[in-house]
Amino acid sequence: MQTDTRTTIDRTTSPSGVAISVMRFTGDISSTSKESVHGAWQGLAGNGPVLLDFSKVEYINSSGIGLIITMLMEADKAGQKVAIFGLTPHFQKVFTMVGIGKYAGLHKDEATAAASL
C-alpha cells in the first residue's frame, strides 16, 4: 500500500558556513507526489544549495524518479548545487543507473552531503 508523500524544508549550514536548504521526504514518491514534491521545490528553486533527504522514503516508482530528475534538471539550468543522501542501497543503485549522479552527488549521510556543497 502506497503512503502519501510529505515534504518538509529545514535549514542547515555546511562546514564552510554556507546556508543550505534541506528538503526532507517521508512516504512513497510516485506520480501522486507531484504537488508535494514539486510544490516544495518551487520555493527552493534557484535559492542556494539544497540537500534532498530520502532517509524516510521506502518506495520510489518510475514516475517519482521522473519528478526528481525534473527538479534536478531545473537546478542544473539555474546553476544550483544539489546533493542527495539517505537512499537505501537499492535506490542508490537505481539513481546511479538512471544518471542522477550527473545532476547531484549521492552521499551516505547528511554531514557528508552538506560538506560536498
User: Domain ranges in the chain?
Assistant: 6-116
Global confidence as pTM: 0.93
Residue the block writes with cell 518510475? 62
What is the pLDDT of the chain when averaged over all its residues? Answer: 92
CATH classification number, 6-116, choose in 3.40.50.300, 3.30.750.24, 3.40.50.150, 3.10.105.10:
3.30.750.24
Cα–Cα distance, 57 to 3 (Å, whole number): 10
Q: Give SS3 for 45.
A: coil
**Side by side, which strands form the sheet with 6-13?**
6-13, 19-29, 50-60, 82-85, 105-107
Q: With cut-offs at 50, 70 and 90, classify the pLDDT of residue 44.
A: confident
